[in-house]
């Protein structure tokens, strides 16, 4: 029985990698300098590189169930997402943080139902979206959509509790972006605090800054505007 995954690895090495060899060489020699921290749901239908057109070295990527942001202030526990936020902001000095939820999100739906009793970590993790849930027992499509979007905004607010994030956002050095990706339409809706809601990318005038950013663009260096 052929090992399909192994075949894919071999194909990458022989067919795809040679086309990118020099680019990866540069990223090794110069190190990575991504401008964007992308916090996305783990859902397999959300493909950040496809959505943004990003290439290697452009996105510092964190994915978890629901695209949730854990609290910064915690005395116990191991939180990969919290560590990634600190690293991206303090060491990589990213200029943007995107929180990207999506339609038909299982994590959001789970806020209205039960999770298996043995999924203790999952049950606890879902608490990070609990405040976004609306007071209905049987959520329809509209309620789920609104909850998905409310959850994105909730995570943006929690990001502002990270001192290094707040400091940089207030200084205009970091922008927060809330996105909701509608899988069936192939369109991201961006959170626009001035309009008070999510706006389809086709009708948006920027990539959707979060609720606390006053400036239009993070301070652009030469050539930066075309990069993520």
Interface with Zn ion by CB under 5 A: which residues?
41, 43, 105, 107
Decide whether 36 or 147 has the Cβ nearer to Zn ion: 147
Decide whether 92 or 143 has the Cβ nearer to Zn ion: 143
Neighbours of 13 (CB within 10 A): 10
Q: Output DSSP code: residue 178.
A: E
Residue 145 CB, nearest approach to Zn ion (Å): 13
Residue 102 CB, nearest approach to Zn ion (Å): 6
Q: Which two tokens stand for residue 118?
A: 């043995």
Decide whether 69 or 105 has the Cβ nearer to Zn ion: 105
Strands (E), the chain: 36-41, 59-64, 96-102, 175-182, 187-192, 197-200
Q: Measured between alpha carbons, how far is 39 from 67 in angstroms, rounded to an integer?
A: 6
Residue 208 CB, nearest approach to Zn ion (Å): 18
Decide whether 107 or 132 has the Cβ nearer to Zn ion: 107
| Buried b / exposed e along 212-228 (16+ C-beta atoms within 10 A) | bbeeeebeeeeeeeebb
Residue 41 CB, nearest approach to Zn ion (Å): 3
């Amino acid at each position: 029985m052929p090992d399909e995954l192994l075949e894919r690895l071999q194909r990458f090495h022989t067919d795809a990698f040679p086309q990118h060899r020099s680019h990866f060489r540069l990223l090794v020699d110069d190190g990575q300098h991504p401008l964007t921290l992308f916090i996305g749901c783990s859902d397999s239908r959300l493909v950040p590189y496809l959505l943004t057109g990003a290439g290697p070295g452009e996105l510092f990527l964190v994915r978890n169930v629901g695209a949730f942001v854990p609290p910064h202030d915690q005395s116990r526990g191991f939180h990969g997402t919290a560590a990634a936020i600190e690293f991206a902001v303090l060491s990589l000095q990213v200029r943007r943080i995107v929180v990207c939820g999506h339609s038909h999100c299982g994590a959001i739906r789970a806020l209205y139902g039960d999770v298996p009793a043995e999924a203790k970590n999952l049950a606890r993790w879902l608490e990070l979206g609990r405040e976004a849930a609306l007071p209905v027992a049987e959520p329809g499509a509209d309620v789920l959509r609104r909850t998905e979007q409310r959850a994105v905004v909730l995570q943006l607010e929690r990001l502002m509790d990270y001192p290094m994030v707040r400091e940089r956002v207030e200084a205009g050095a970091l922008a927060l972006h809330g996105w909701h990706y509608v899988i069936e339409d192939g369109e991201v809706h961006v959170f626009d605090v001035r309009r008070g809601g999510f706006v389809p990318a086709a009708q948006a005038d920027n990539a959707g800054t979060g609720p606390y950013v006053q400036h239009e663009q993070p301070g652009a260096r030469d050539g930066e505007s075309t990069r993520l």
